[in-house]
């Protein structure tokens, strides 16, 4: 079975259990912390995926990094460790975030601009994302890329609105590369 399917099943089970016990926000915070640690510390993700390091040591590292984690999260770490599946923990954390957003009707969108946007623009983009997705809550992930020259790129799920100046210039270049006046005989 693929890592994605296994991670999805683990994430779904911990999410449903957290909902049942009323600890969803706390467990969500634990998984967000795990994702943040992995993003800032490459050695942590390499440790979890290393088959040479024994599961007991990986569990000790997890307990040391998450001493204030929910008891449910700690138990989850122990179960995953017993099954020698620590390598999928980061995938489980990412999939948990996806399923949490579905549960809470949160739409995550990625916005790339050439400058930091203000609150007025942020609200306009959030309204656009709400219209596209039909969800009540929007979480914008803002990125700055000066190579766009101007405009923006907005990604919502599989849709991408590319209103950047660099893409418009690329389209123009492609149009000019074709000579419409040359005979095609």
Burial class (CB in 10 A: 0-12, 13-18, 19+), 10: buried
pLDDT for 185: 59
* Closest C-alpha to 76, from 142, 30, 39: 30
Q: Are residue 68 and residue 7 in the same domain, yes or no?
A: yes
Q: How many other CB atoms are found less than 10 A from the CB of residue 78?
A: 14
Helix axes 55-65, 71-82, angle to 10 degrees: 170
Number of structural domains the chain divides into: 2
Q: pLDDT tens for residues 172-181?
A: 998 888 776 7
Residue 11 is predicted with a pLDDT of 97
Domain that holds residue 65: 3-102
- Looking at the structure, tell me whether residues 43 and 132 fall in a common domain: no
Mark whether 86 and 122 lie in a shared domain: no
* Domain presence at residue 27: yes
Is 182 a member of any domain? Answer: no
Residues 147 and 164 in one domain: yes
pLDDT of residue 176: 82
The pTM (predicted TM-score) of the whole model is 0.82
Q: What radius of gyration, in Å, describes the C-alpha atoms of the chain? A: 22
Specify whether 142 is located in the same domain as 92: no
Look at residues 102, 119, 142 and tell me which one is the last residue of a structural domain: 102
Give the pLDDT of residue 30: 96
Q: What is the pLDDT of residue 179?
A: 72
Low pLDDT (below 50) residues in the chain: none
Domain shared by 114 and 146, yes or no: yes
Mark whether 123 and 78 lie in a shared domain: no
């Amino acid at each position: 079975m693929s890592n994605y399917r296994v991670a999805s099943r683990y994430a779904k089970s911990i999410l449903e259990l957290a909902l049942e016990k009323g600890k969803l926000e706390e467990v969500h915070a634990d998984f967000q912390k795990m994702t943040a640690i992995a993003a800032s510390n490459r050695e942590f993700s390499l440790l979890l995926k290393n088959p040479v390091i024994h599961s007991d040591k990986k569990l000790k590292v997890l307990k040391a990094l998450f001493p204030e984690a929910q008891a449910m999260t700690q138990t989850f770490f122990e179960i995953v460790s017993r099954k020698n599946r620590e390598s999928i923990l980061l995938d489980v954390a990412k999939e948990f975030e996806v399923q949490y957003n579905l549960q809470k009707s949160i739409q995550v969108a990625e916005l790339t601009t050439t400058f930091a946007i203000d609150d007025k623009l942020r609200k306009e983009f959030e309204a656009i994302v709400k219209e596209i997705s039909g969800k009540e809550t929007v979480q914008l992930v803002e990125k700055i890329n000066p190579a766009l020259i101007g405009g923006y790129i907005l990604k919502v799920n599989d849709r991408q609105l590319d209103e950047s100046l660099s893409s418009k210039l690329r389209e123009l270049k492609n149009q000019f590369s074709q000579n419409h006046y040359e005979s095609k005989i």
